[in-house]
Amino acid sequence: MISRSQRIVIWGLVWIALIALSAPTLVVIGASFTSGDIITFPPDGFSLKWYDRVARAGELRAAFFRSLWVATICTLVAMPVGTLAGIALSRYRLRFGNVVQVYLLLPFTIPLIGSGIGLMLVFGAWGALGNLWPIGVACAVINLPFIIWSVSSSAALLDPDLELAAANCGAGRVQTFFAVTLPAVMPGVITGSLLMFILAMNEFLVSLLLVDARTMTLPVQIYNSIRSIITPDLAAVSVVFIAVAAAAIALLDRLVGLEIFLKSK
Amino acid sequence: MPDRSFRYPLRWHVMDALERGADILWPATFSRMTGWLLAAPAILLVGLLVLGLIQIGDASMHVLDTSTFRMSEAYTLANYADAFTSAVYFKVAWRSLLAAALTTALTLAFAFPYAYAMVRTRSATVRKALLIALFLPFFIGQVVRAYGWLIILGNNGIVNDMLGVVGVEPIRLLFNFPAVIFGLVQYMLPFGVLMLAPALTAIPEETEIAAGSLGASWPRAIWHVILPMARPGLIGAGIVVFTLSLTDFAMPAILGGGSQDFIANAIYDQFFRTADQGLGSALALMLVALGSLIVGAVFTLFGAGTLALGARK
**DSSP characters for B48-67?**
HHHHHHHHHHHHHTS-EETT
Residue A241 lies in a domain: yes
Q: What is the pLDDT of residues B55-110, one digit of tens each?
A: 999 999 888 777 776 777 778 888 888 888 888 899 999 999 999 999 999 999 99
Q: What is the pLDDT of residues A97-140, one digit of tens each?
A: 778 888 998 888 889 999 999 999 999 999 988 899 999 999 99
Decide yes or no: CATH 1.10.287.990 for domain B78-307: no
Backbone angles phi, psi at B173, to 5 degrees: -95, -20
* Residue A226 within a domain: yes
Q: Does B214 touch chain A (CB under 8 A)?
A: no
Considering chain B, what is the average pLDDT of its residues? Answer: 86
In sequence order, the 6+-apart residues with CB closer than 8 A to the CB of A76 are: A136
**How far are the Cα atoms of A51, A58, A170, B38, B76 from residue A32, in angstroms, in the given order?**
8, 18, 60, 47, 53
Specify if A23 maps to a domain.
Answer: no
Residue B61 near chain A (CB below 8 Å):
no
Distances (CA, A) of B97 to B58, B248, B264, B268: 27, 11, 12, 18
A90 touches chain B (CB under 8 A): yes
pLDDT at B313: 34
Which domain, by its residues, includes A199? Answer: 49-262
Angle among Cα A203, A232, A28 to the nearest 5 degrees reads 60
Burial A62-77 (b: 16+ CB within 10 A, else e): ebbebbbbbbebbbeb
Contact between residue B205 and residue B116 where contact means Cβ atoms under 8 Å apart: no
pLDDT (tens digit per residue) in A25-56 = 998 888 888 877 777 666 677 878 788 887 78
CA angle B104, B109, B110 (to 5 degrees): 105
Neighbours of A96 (CB within 10 A): 10
Does residue A248 sit at the B interface (CB-CB below 8 Å)? yes
Q: Is residue A30 part of a domain?
A: no
Cα dihedral A206/A207/A210/A212 (nearest 10): -150
Q: Is residue A28 part of a domain?
A: no
- Which of A10, A28, A227 has its CB closest to that of B148? A28
Q: Any bridge partners for residue B64, and if so which?
A: B71
What residues of chain A, 170 to 199, have a C-beta less than 8 Å from chain B? Answer: 172-175, 198
Residues of B whose CB is below 8 A from A244: 139
First to last CA, chain A: 27
For the cut 80, the answer to whether the pLDDT of residue A221 exceeds it is: yes
Give the domain CATH number at A202: 1.10.3720.10
- Under an 8 A CB cutoff, do B55 and A38 touch? no
**Best to test chain A binding among B152, B309, B312, B313 (most A CBs inside 10 Å):** B309
SS (H, E, C) B236-295: HHHHHHHHHHHCCCHHHHHCCCCCCCCHHHHHHHHHHCCCCHHHHHHHHHHHHHHHHHHH
- Rounded CA gap, A199 and A136, in Å? 11
Say how many Å lie between the first and final Cα of chain B, rounded.
52
Q: Which of residues 130-149 of A touch B (CB under 8 A)?
A: 137-138, 140-141, 144-145, 148-149
Residue A86's nearest CA partner among A192, A209, A227, A245 is A192
Count the domains in chain A: 1
What are the pLDDT digits (tens) for B52-67? 999 999 999 888 777 7
The domains of chain B are located at 10-59, 78-307
pLDDT above 70 as % of chain A: 95
The pLDDT, as a whole number, for residue A235 is 86
Query: What pLDDT is attached to residue A75?
Result: 96
Q: Are B261 and B252 in contact (CB under 8 A)?
A: yes
Distance CA B217, CA B212 (A): 6
pLDDT at B108: 95
Cβ–Cβ below 8 Å for B56 and A121: yes
**pLDDT greater at residue B129 or residue A95:** B129
Does A198 reside within a domain?
Answer: yes
B51 interfaces chain A, CB cutoff of 8 Å:
yes
Residues 5 through 24 of chain B touching chain A, CB cutoff 8 Å: 15, 18-19, 22
Q: Is the pLDDT of residue B150 over 80?
A: yes
pLDDT value at position B312?
40
Are the beta carbons of A92 and B34 closer than 8 angstroms?
yes
* ipTM exceeds 0.95, yes or no: no
Check residue B223 and report its DSSP letter: I
Per-residue pLDDT band for A234 (boundaries 50, 70, 90) equals confident
